[in-house]
Structure 1
């Protein structure tokens, strides 16, 4: 049974506020979703039954429409070596972690080497301008901060990278599950990223979400705590999410798994068209 504290993490109103943003001529996102679901003949989802089957079954029952699985098609990472590989080679295997949101002091608290990729904040020309005073000097031997594009998949597959602090975008979820062996720390942005984080932590049990307060804000201590939890080799939770991640990766990357979903999706679409004729 949920406690009162659990029910307000994060605030439901804040969580769902994006539904009421206007897209186009006075039409909210919620209205677009509603009309799309009610007026369509079939719903296609970029997922697989093994991962999200029970949720797709619920949608099919609720809307009384067939739900087709298109499969999580994941791109193959490029084989060429990026210049960041030379920097990563300085560290022990599995010791570096990457984050896509600004949690600088939390990263420093972990005392682990890290690579941070972040957009320059508004009003600045570079991420370096926003660094806390003295931060760059303190982390110069173990931290690298970039505000440019980096080859995320190649970095996550590098042997020195042991943990990925992810914003929990849907694409990042599949990439982290299928293409790397990193431990996962979940630091979701608003909108659907929060749902994805809860799904990964509570349903798949492959990561640990950073604790936030009722205003959806995290502290440097909570970020550090989540990273240490998955990176500590003696942590029961760390061992559990690592083993679950291994099992899901083994299934999702098995030969023919992705292509079978595409083939079946095409056959299902063809069958529905034949029924309409």
Structure 2
């Protein structure tokens, strides 16, 4: 069959619900045709192309990038920008990736997002996770025929409450116990990897996985849920963290060769970073958190970040030079468009406000403020004079949102302000026409959702990585305004919250005009056609190059 006729017939079978992509594994091209759970063999189209008979079809790039060539021997080959030839493909040779993220919901969700994107391109994924946590991730699995969950029983550790599986189940003071339990799963992971024999294993905090994977001839890929700027600032080999003690003064400034930027930490933030980096696994003689991270990064075969060179290229180059490992980018964190509708009670209430006038404030699933800071925050929202919707956990030591509200607050903001303590559909709320400002804690997922929204960003970080994200967004890229905090105590005031909100919401504010223009520019880039796919194609190609 002539190549053009073959391509015409291939394209004629497309529908709106079918997806085509293309990729190569070394000398192997495996195309995959997706029609929900149905797999279409090449023989349905043509009995033989080149030397290949009846391969399954996998995908990795748009169908338009495929073309056919005839070799000197007269054989027909399928080609794309990222493949070289077609070879025999058996079911045992399908690209197979295992994943074992740290037991925190943000890490699990981040790995799940990567799993979906790799499965979309035909990879088989074996995803290790705590047993009961599987129900939280099941709804996020978009390719159930390719992504399999492998439940792991969290080992018993004295002092760890029964039934604990993820960080959200325990206070921060018990994290070292959960880390100990996490490391006790090593024999289980070892046995499972021997059984499933993947090509790659993706991990983040399991510092023992690279040596285990090496024994099994599996490539160990450190998939960081922390961005390149934070990794470079905090744990660059240049700091020699394992060889010598690090101090608060050290952490206030970036490493000497760190790229020029606005990123630095206050005294309060540096103390918090030092506490995090030096905490021990079991609270006594175990490995410290910084040693865990350093081993994870140094012993891997490649570092993967959800980032793009347009925004964070200088930090990626710095990391590649410092760790002497390939730094592979899977592209910016662009949230998938939600498929559900906003809950009616919220939509109805928000419909009553003018376009782009409402403040939406949300601090994620794990950020819990002290009562005085909780009150300063919502009083700052009140002081702005704008309608607001705040989604916050009850403060430390307080059981309900209602009991934490300042006296007379509910009466004063009735009809224009709401404080809610349960989960909401954040992406859909950010898309609502009435919302014009997003006050965020700068978690990686929330930051990504804020970046691709049309809302102006007010930044109020509460954890070490979040401080660095806030400096990058407000200082380097200048697409948001950070709420001022005390250098020593890290406290913010209602007036500071109000000033930041007004700065981004005031049409006549020079700061507001600058951040709005920059936000629009970066939003358009992140949502530009083909950007995400081009990064993912390159990501897969570079992964496969590790097998050569």
TM-score normalised by L of structure 2? 0.47
The corresponding residue for 1:231 is 505
Is 1:212 the counterpart of 2:447? The answer is: no
The corresponding residue for 2:475 is 202
CA distance in structure 1 between the partners assigned to 2:350 and 2:457 by the alignment: 18
The corresponding residue for 2:395 is 121
Deviation by residue 1:224-245 (Cα, 9 ceiling, x = unmatched): 1100111111001101111111
Q: Is the 8 A contact 2:342 2:425 kept in 1?
A: no
The corresponding residue for 1:37 is 297
Shift of the alpha carbon at 1:10?
4.6
CA distance in structure 2 between the partners assigned to 1:148 and 1:8 by the alignment: 32
Q: Is the 8 A contact 2:269 2:464 kept in 1?
A: no
The corresponding residue for 1:82 is 343
Shift of the alpha carbon at 1:11?
4.4
CA distance in structure 2 between the partners assigned to 1:57 and 1:16 by the alignment: 25
CA distance in structure 2 between the partners assigned to 1:120 and 1:128 by the alignment: 9
Q: How does 1:1-277 map to 2 (within 5 A)?
A: 8=266, 10-23=268-281, 26-73=286-333, 74-83=335-344, 84-100=346-362, 102=374, 103-178=377-452, 180-214=453-487, 215-274=489-548
Shift of the alpha carbon at 1:79?
4.2
CA distance in structure 2 between the partners assigned to 1:99 and 1:124 by the alignment: 20
SS of equivalent to 1:226:
helix
CA distance in structure 2 between the partners assigned to 1:240 and 1:138 by the alignment: 33
Q: Is the 8 A contact 1:9 1:213 kept in 2?
A: no
Pick closer, same or farther for the CA change 1:165–1:52 going to 2, 3 Å: same
Q: Does 1 or 2 have the higher relative contact order (CA < 8 Å, sep 6+)?
A: 1
SS of equivalent to 2:507:
coil
Q: Is the 8 A contact 1:9 1:212 kept in 2?
A: no
Deviation by residue 1:200-259 (Cα, 9 ceiling, x = unmatched): 011111100000002111011111110011111100110111111111111110112112
Shift of the alpha carbon at 1:78?
2.8
Deviation by residue 1:9-40 (Cα, 9 ceiling, x = unmatched): 65422344211223467222111111112211
Shift of the alpha carbon at 1:7?
6.9
CA distance in structure 1 between the partners assigned to 2:273 and 2:471 by the alignment: 12
CA distance in structure 2 between the partners assigned to 1:147 and 1:234 by the alignment: 34
Q: Count the aligned residue pairs.
A: 269
What is the RMSD of the two structures over their aligned residues, measured on CA atoms? 1.8
Which is further off, 93-102 or 265-274? 93-102
Unaligned segments of structure 2, at least 5 residues: 1-252, 254-263, 364-373
CA distance in structure 2 between the partners assigned to 1:138 and 1:12 by the alignment: 38
CA distance in structure 2 between the partners assigned to 1:253 and 1:85 by the alignment: 25
Q: Is the 8 A contact 2:359 2:438 kept in 1?
A: yes
CA distance in structure 1 between the partners assigned to 2:321 and 2:312 by the alignment: 14
Which is further off, 94-103 or 130-139? 94-103
TM-score normalised by L of structure 1? 0.92
Q: Is the 8 A contact 1:78 1:154 kept in 2?
A: no
| Structure in which a larger fraction of residues adopt helix | 1
Shift of the alpha carbon at 1:48?
1.0
CA distance in structure 2 between the partners assigned to 1:7 and 1:71 by the alignment: 27
CA distance in structure 2 between the partners assigned to 1:71 and 1:203 by the alignment: 19
Shift of the alpha carbon at 1:158?
0.7
Deviation by residue 1:108-129 (Cα, 9 ceiling, x = unmatched): 1111100010112244332111
Q: Is the 8 A contact 1:89 1:160 kept in 2?
A: yes
Shift of the alpha carbon at 1:140?
0.7
SS of equivalent to 1:230:
helix
Unaligned segments of structure 1, at least 5 residues: none
Q: Is the 8 A contact 2:342 2:429 kept in 1?
A: no
